[in-house]
């Protein structure tokens, strides 16, 4: 799934095409690190293994991905929530994670309560205090969340629910932690701390098919924005594992529901079964992409869950007034791990980011020192509404772009060469003639052809490129 990306000189559709390069012993992780080191995207440190430090330019890409998905979530009826990172083990026992997933969780001890320290250990109360302390110590054991579903169940359970509210869709982008074995850690693709475009849908039985169909369509359309064609996406139905909660009949029903939706949305012969690879609480559809080194990565997922609504006693009032109806829970993610999807895109674009996603969208090169002032004025104008704004407080909305200036005492040719190496989408050159005519000379990263446009025309072109994800 490796492409070379050509950035258009005018706002035409982005063209992606397969690259031809030999696959060496270099891994995708090593390849990504090489690109990251050149573009200063992310780093790691042995003091926090499996956790990523996104540098300023990497954070720009990360935030663009998050904002992109937040906009899609709104369109599909999701409401974003923010939930805690740690919960007492009582929650994880209720959800089943403590029994079935605790080895993959980070456990945290809270401070013993102040009241415990103040209790006097007098002889006639020593035995009672000992047991009280044991109880409180257990009560103060926490788990860092490896997923958001129990927290979303708590939100659902806080209020009385009615059938006419369903489906209720929550999205969550907070960080998750999973205690992966140190030997399994690998760059961005296998980490201990990660972010997920997580979503949970509480719905009625008859709404399942539509909700899952919507998610599969969103997956296809989203990946298409990045030039990933439907034929490159693998869908796998992961069935009941050896270690599971609930009864086999409920599992069979859930697997049948997923089978029917997959057949309708992707075709009967276009997906595979992964026997016994489901989550402990329900079967799932896993979405896989293959990198240039022929390694498969699971990205998106859709999971059908009849178990957590039972464990959390989730209810809603039906149309006939019965308050004992139980919702179905659908877990879903499109990107999956943002860190892993970031790695997929690094491999996919090989550092040649499309304009809308590029952390280095344009650079202005003044021909000599006397053009620097004009270049700075142009930078402010092209950067958009935050910088090109006279008010003390920046506006909440508008188009904003990453535009730099290279005013070093180097030849124009050398500065253009370095700009191309750094991956800037557009290079703008400003000299005497341009200033006299009120234009700027602009070329793309991959095309030597130079056009002369006004600053307003360049800004309009930038807006059009971002609007159409080019």
Same domain as 173, residue 286 = yes
Domain assignment present for 15: no
Residue after which a domain boundary falls, among 328, 349, 370: 349
**Is the pLDDT confidence value at 171 over 80?**
yes
Q: Which of 57, 284, 297, 470 is catalytic?
A: 284
Cα–Cα distances in angstroms (integers) from residue 395 to residues 385, 458, 459, in the given order: 7, 21, 18
Same domain as 369, residue 270 = no
Same domain as 367, residue 251 = no
Domain assignment present for 307: yes
Same domain as 219, residue 297 = yes
What does the pLDDT look like over 266-285, one tens digit per residue?
888 889 999 998 888 888 99
Total domains in the chain come to 2
Residue 198 a catalytic site member: yes
Same domain as 184, residue 280 = yes
**Strand intervals (E) in 63-159:** 79-80, 86-88, 107-109, 141-144
Contact yes or no for 324/310 (Cβ under 8 A): no
Of 151, 158, 142, 139, give the one whose Cα is nearest residue 175.
Answer: 151
Residue 196 a catalytic site member: yes
Counting Cβ atoms within 10 Å, is residue 451 exposed (0-12), middle (13-18) or buried (19+)? middle
Residue 149 a catalytic site member: yes
Same domain as 368, residue 328 = no
- The Cβ of residue 292 has, within 10 Å, a number of other Cβ atoms equal to 18
pLDDT at position 243: 83
Q: Which of 161, 331, 340, 360 is catalytic?
A: 331
Domain assignment present for 127: no
Same domain as 318, residue 199 = yes
Count the helix, strand and coil residues of the chain and give each as a percent rounded to the nearest 5: 40, 25, 35
**Residues 6 or more apart whose Cβ sits within 8 Å of residue 385:** 394, 395, 397, 398, 399, 400
Same domain as 300, residue 161 = yes
Measured between alpha carbons, how far is 101 from 96 in angstroms, rounded to an integer? 8
What does the pLDDT look like over 130-169, one tens digit per residue?
444 455 555 678 999 999 999 999 999 999 999 999 999 9
Q: Which of 97, 200, 240, 415 is catalytic?
A: 200
Residue after which a domain boundary falls, among 349, 377, 400: 349
Q: Which of 196, 303, 307, 379 is catalytic?
A: 196
What does the pLDDT look like over 221-266, one tens digit per residue?
999 999 988 888 999 999 999 888 888 888 888 888 899 889 988 8
What does the pLDDT look like over 366-375, one tens digit per residue?
999 999 999 9
Counting Cβ atoms within 10 Å, is residue 319 exposed (0-12), middle (13-18) or buried (19+)? exposed
Lowest mean pLDDT among 94-108, 143-157, 456-470: 94-108
Same domain as 199, residue 56 = yes
Q: Which CATH number is 402's domain given?
A: 3.40.50.800
**Residues 6 or more apart whose Cβ sits within 8 Å of residue 311:** 94, 95, 96, 245
Contact yes or no for 426/355 (Cβ under 8 A): yes
pLDDT at position 370: 93
Domain assignment present for 180: yes
Of 85, 35, 29, give the one whose Cα is nearest residue 58.
Answer: 35
Q: Which of 73, 149, 161, 240 is catalytic?
A: 149
**Mean pLDDT across 439-443:** 96
Cα–Cα distances in angstroms (integers) from residue 424 to residues 4, 299, 412, 448, in the given order: 15, 28, 15, 14
What average pLDDT does the chain have?
Answer: 87
Q: Which of 57, 177, 178, 422 is catalytic?
A: 178
**Is the pLDDT confidence value at 315 over 60?**
yes
Strand partners, 237: 273, 285
- Domain limits for position 409: 355-468
Q: Which CATH number is 242's domain given?
A: 3.30.930.10
Same domain as 150, residue 228 = yes
φ and ψ of 363, to 5 deg: -135, 140
- The strand pair at 141-144 and 426-430 is best described as unpaired
Same domain as 367, residue 301 = no
Residue 130 a catalytic site member: no
Residue after which a domain boundary falls, among 349, 370, 390: 349
Residue 20 confidence class, pLDDT cut points 50, 70, 90: very low
Domain assignment present for 439: yes
Domain assignment present for 129: no
Residue 133 a catalytic site member: no
Domain assignment present for 279: yes
pLDDT at position 342: 95
Q: Which of 172, 197, 198, 434 is catalytic?
A: 198
Domain assignment present for 376: yes
pTM: 0.87
Handedness of CA 213, 334, 258, 205 (dihedral sign): negative
Measured at the alpha carbon of residue 14, what is the angle toward residues 9 and 18, in degrees to the nearest 5? 120
Residue 311 a catalytic site member: no
Residue 286 a catalytic site member: no
DSSP at 182? G
Of 453, 469, 169, 122, give the one whose Cα is nearest residue 333.
Answer: 169
Which phi-psi region, left, alpha or beta, contains residue 398 (left: φ > 0; alpha: ψ -120 to 50)?
left
Same domain as 412, residue 432 = yes
Contact yes or no for 265/210 (Cβ under 8 A): no
**pLDDT above 90 as % of the chain:** 65
**Is the pLDDT confidence value at 393 over 80?**
yes
């Amino acid at each position: 799934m490796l492409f070379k990306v050509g950035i258009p000189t005018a706002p035409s559709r982005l063209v992606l095409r397969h690259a031809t390069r030999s696959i060496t012993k270099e891994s995708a992780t090593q390849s990504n690190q090489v690109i990251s080191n050149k573009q200063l995207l992310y780093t790691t440190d042995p003091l926090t293994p499996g956790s990523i430090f996104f540098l300023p330019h990497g954070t720009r890409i990360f935030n663009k991905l998050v904002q992109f998905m937040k906009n899609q979530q709104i369109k599909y009826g999701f409401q974003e929530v923010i939930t805690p990172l740690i919960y007492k083990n009582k929650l994880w026992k209720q959800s089943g994670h403590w029994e079935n997933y605790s080895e993959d969780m980070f456990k945290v001890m809270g401070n013993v309560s102040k009241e415990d320290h103040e209790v006097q250990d007098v002889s006639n109360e020593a035995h009672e205090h000992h047991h009280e302390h044991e109880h409180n110590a257990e009560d103060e054991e926490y788990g860092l969340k490896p997923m958001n579903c129990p927290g979303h169940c708590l939100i659902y359970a806080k209020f009385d629910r009615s059938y006419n509210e369903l489906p209720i869709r929550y999205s969550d982008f907070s960080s998750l932690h999973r205690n992966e074995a140190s030997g399994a850690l690998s760059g961005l693709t296998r980490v201990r701390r990660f972010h997920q475009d997580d979503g949970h849908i509480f719905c009625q039985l008859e709404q399942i098919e539509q909700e899952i169909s919507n998610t599969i369509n969103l997956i296809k359309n989203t990946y298409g924005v990045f030039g990933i064609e439907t034929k490159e996406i693998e869908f796998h139905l992961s069935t009941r594992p050896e270690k599971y909660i609930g009864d086999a009949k409920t599992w069979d029903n859930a697997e049948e529901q997923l089978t029917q939706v997959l057949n309708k949305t992707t075709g009967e012969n276009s997906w595979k079964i992964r026997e016994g690879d489901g989550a402990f609480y329900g079967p799932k559809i896993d979405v896989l992409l293959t990198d240039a080194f022929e390694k498969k990565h699971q990205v998106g997922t859709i999971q059908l869950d009849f178990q957590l609504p039972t464990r959390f006693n989730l209810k809603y009032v039906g149309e006939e007034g019965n308050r004992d109806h139980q919702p179905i829970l659908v877990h879903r993610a499109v990107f999956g791990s943002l860190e892993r999807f970031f790695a997929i895109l690094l491999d996919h674009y090989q550092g040649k980011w499309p304009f809308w996603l590029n952390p280095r969208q344009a650079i202005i090169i003044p021909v000599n020192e006397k053009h620097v002032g004009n270049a700075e004025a142009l930078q402010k104008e092209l950067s958009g509404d935050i910088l090109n704004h006279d008010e003390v407080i920046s506006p909440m909305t508008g188009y904003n772009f990453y535009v730099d200036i290279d005013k070093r005492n180097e030849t124009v040719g050398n500065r253009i060469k370095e700009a191309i190496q750094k991956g800037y989408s557009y290079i703008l050159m400003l000299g005497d003639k341009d200033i006299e005519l009120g234009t700027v000379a602009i070329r793309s990263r991959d095309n030597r052809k130079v056009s002369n446009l006004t600053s307003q025309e360049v800004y309009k072109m930038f807006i059009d490129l971002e609007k159409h994800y080019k």
